[in-house]
């Protein structure tokens, strides 16, 4: 019996030590993660003149040539990429070659605003959530620290689940009794809600790790599913120009999209200076997020290569699902709201766990 108590106390100390290590990170990641669920909606509500447009009755989009011409005139920089919105009342976003972003009205080609990414609520929150805002050139020095904190949080959750599962009468302990004294009530709140939310929180945390530690996490997915993840194909190279005349963007993009006629265009990555290959990121039926691609020669419009992620193997489909799963964007607004609540739930564990620790040590 004494051995069992010592064993349980050991894991309680592990649970406490991990909580102390990650509590500050947990608060930051919890608040920012939950905010990211609705950050784009909030900034559109706050500054609708920058993010929303009024579609004309005919809803005729302006051609890409005029849109790109207006954007480059507004800032004297070539456009690096252009994101296409599926909702008719949303402005399109793009990025210039020097890293500045812009919003443009797709019906009039009017540039609505030019900005740094972190000037927006979504951009600032994302940088804080993923990299704690510290950026040096193209590097993010604190990203591994954030990932380490997330990994420790996963271990923390699993240790907490073990502490619940080890004693007898597990199901009986899945009840919260509000009439008990505050200490018992907070303990039940901490443990019971923790048990219910452990699996979704661990999966969400793991999916977040995949964006930084992709090599390690992809190996885990491949081991579990017993299959390989199909990587994005390398961009084809065009070394000689068959024509010195640029094909119109409208014609070239429309021609390229015919190679995947059922796909929805999501983003256009334009060729860098002295290059000719343009990449279209598209979403095919059956995809939760756009992971299909079309490459074409911007001078001739010739489609050089395609990659249809909707027909990828199961392992790749699971891997490609990680982003919509992480942000809760795969089953409608009700699930998205549940993800928002899930994002905030670690705050409850920090509060109740902190209360129990202080109560035990000081009173």
Does residue 299 sit within a domain?
Answer: no
8 A C-beta contact, residue 125 and residue 35: yes
What's the number of domains the chain is made of?
1
Does residue 27 sit within a domain?
Answer: yes
pLDDT of 64 strictly over 70: yes
Q: 273 or 85, which is more confident?
A: 85
Does residue 55 sit within a domain?
Answer: no
Does residue 181 sit within a domain?
Answer: yes
pLDDT of 182 strictly over 90: no
Q: 297 or 274, which is more confident?
A: 297
Does residue 95 sit within a domain?
Answer: no
According to the model, what pLDDT value does residue 242 have?
57
Q: How far apart are CA 43 and CA 51, in angstroms?
A: 8
Neighbours of 30 (CB within 10 A): 21
Does residue 101 sit within a domain?
Answer: no
Range of the domain at 180: 2-43+146-227+324-362
pLDDT digits (tens, 9 = 90+) for 32-48: 999 999 999 999 999 99
CA 237 from chain centre, in angstroms, equals 30
Sign of the CA dihedral 49, 51, 54, 60? positive
Does residue 73 sit within a domain?
Answer: no
Does residue 296 sit within a domain?
Answer: no
């Amino acid at each position: 019996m004494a051995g069992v108590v010592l064993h349980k106390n050991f894991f309680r100390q592990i649970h406490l030590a991990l909580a102390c290590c990650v509590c500050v990170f947990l608060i930051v990641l919890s608040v920012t993660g939950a905010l990211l669920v609705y950050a784009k909606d909030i900034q559109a509500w706050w500054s609708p003149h920058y993010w929303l447009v009024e579609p004309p009755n005919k809803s005729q989009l302006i051609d890409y040539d005029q849109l790109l011409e207006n954007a480059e005139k507004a800032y004297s920089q070539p456009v690096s990429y252009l994101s296409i919105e599926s909702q008719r009342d949303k402005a399109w976003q793009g990025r210039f070659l020097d890293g500045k972003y812009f919003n443009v009205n797709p019906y009039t080609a009017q540039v609505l605003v030019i900005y740094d990414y972190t000037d927006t609520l979504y951009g600032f929150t994302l940088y804080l959530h993923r990299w704690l805002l510290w950026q040096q050139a193209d590097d993010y020095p604190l990203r591994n620290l954030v990932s380490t904190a997330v990994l420790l949080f996963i271990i923390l959750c699993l240790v907490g689940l073990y502490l619940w599962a080890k004693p007898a009468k597990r199901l009986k302990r899945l009840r919260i009794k509000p009439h008990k004294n505050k200490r018992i009530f907070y303990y039940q709140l901490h443990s019971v809600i923790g048990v219910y939310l452990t699996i979704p929180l661990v999966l969400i945390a793991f999916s977040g790790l995949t964006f930084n530690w992709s090599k390690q996490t992809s190996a885990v997915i491949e081991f579990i599913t017993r299959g390989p993840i199909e990587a994005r194909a390398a961009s084809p190279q065009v070394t000689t120009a068959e024509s010195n005349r640029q094909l119109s963007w409208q014609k070239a993009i429309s021609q390229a999209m015919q190679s995947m006629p059922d796909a929805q265009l999501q983003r256009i990555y334009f060729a860098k200076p002295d290059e000719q290959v343009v990449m279209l990121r598209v979403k095919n039926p059956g995809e939760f997020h756009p992971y299909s691609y079309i490459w074409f020669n911007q001078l001739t419009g010739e489609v050089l290569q395609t990659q249809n992620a909707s027909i990828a193997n199961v392992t790749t489909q699971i891997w490609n699902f990680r982003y919509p799963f992480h942000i809760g964007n795969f089953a409608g607004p009700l699930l998205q709201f549940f993800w928002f609540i899930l994002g905030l739930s670690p705050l409850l564990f920090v509060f109740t766990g902190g209360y129990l620790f202080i109560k035990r040590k000081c009173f």
